[in-house]
Amino acid sequence: MKIELAENYGFCFGVKRAIKIAEENKNSATYGPLIHNSKEIARLEKDFQVGLSDDYKSFAPGDKAVIRTHGIPKNELEYLVANKVNVIDATCPYVTKPQQICQEMSEAGYDIVIFGDATHPEIKGVQSYAIKGAYVVTSPQELASIKLSEKVALVAQTTRKVEEYLAIANFLIPRHKEVRVFNTICNATFENQDAVRKLSAKADVMLIIGGKNSSNTKQLYSISKANCSDSYHIEDESELELSWFKDKKLCGISAGASTPDWIIQNVIDAIKKSLD
């Protein structure tokens, strides 16, 4: 069986940047997981003493608080600053952007629609910048019962599929005088999704490696599954099953934006070893 990596996969710009920031700030703590990959977080704790707190009120004045790639809600950031916590911002710049858009658009009087998962930290953060609130939806159907004004601004979670974003835009455009569509889906997402689309069309078994709570990994898996029914979303090599590879010719591999190369390499090594 041949193993082929997708043309684009794994760590994105924002994740690389955040890990570098964390590594440069030993003896700090992130507020919430820095990225959606528990193994990489464990490595940062072990090698760089970067801890993890789930409560922003746990930071004392002078403590170093690293803000996760997904960003945090505005009021929590304001609390940290007001309490003289040493804030180290590792929010991905592609996430800061929709936060700014939400703030500017609500100040300019637009109703705001966010395409994304309301329970995801990125979206909780982005939504908090809409000073008059925002509607968070994952499908046009959810908009049917919402009364919006004539002017609507639309932003997307950075890791979403563009086809689904367009479906929401297409619902709004005929119903409103102006729809201001901000393309906040990040390029890494576009590129990784395109590469999975291509690879899963020819592979007969696909592995998508990444955190089970990682939004972008879940999107990659859903694209892969549509093309290749033998697609598996795993966090690491411990989940591999030999039966997946029986009589297969090409195993395609991709990984989410928060999956480090060393985990991908461990998976490849384990497959090769099992096939020996």
Chain positions contacting a copy of itself, by CB under 8 A: 162, 165-166, 169-170, 173-183, 185, 190
158's tokens? 């950075």
Note the residue count of the chain: 276
| Whether the Cβ atoms of residue 199 and residue 106 lie closer than 8 Å to each other | no
Cα–Cα distance between 67 and 70 in angstroms, integer? 8
Query: In the complex, what is the shortest distance from the CB of residue 180 to a copy of itself, in angstroms, rounded to a whole number?
Result: 5
104 is known as an active-site residue? no
Q: Minimum CB separation from a copy of itself for residue 238, in Å?
A: 37
CB nearer to a copy of itself: pick between 11 and 165: 165
Minimum CB distance to a copy of itself smaller for 1 or for 167 = 167
Neighbouring C-beta atoms of residue 204, cutoff 10 Å? 16
Instruction: Return all residues near 101 (Cβ < 8 A) that are at least 6 apart.
Output: 153, 155, 182, 184
Decide whether 104 or 241 has the Cβ nearer to a copy of itself: 104
The least distance separating a copy of itself from the CB of residue 174, rounded to whole angstroms, comes to 5
DSSP state of 59: P
User: Judged by CB, which is closer to a copy of itself: 56, or 94?
Assistant: 94
Beta bridge partners of 152: 111, 179
Catalytic-labelled residue, pool 76, 122, 235, 237: 122
Smallest separation, CB 185 to a copy of itself (Å)? 8
CB nearer to a copy of itself: pick between 188 and 255: 188
Beta carbon of residue 242, minimum distance to a copy of itself (angstroms, whole number): 40
> What distances in angstroms separate CA 74 from CA 53, 87, 134, one per listed residue?
18, 13, 14
Task: Report angle CA 76, 49, 77 to the nearest 5 degrees.
Answer: 10
Structure-token match 């455009």, residue found? 173
| The pairing of beta strand 151-156 with beta strand 205-209 | unpaired
Known catalytic residues are 122
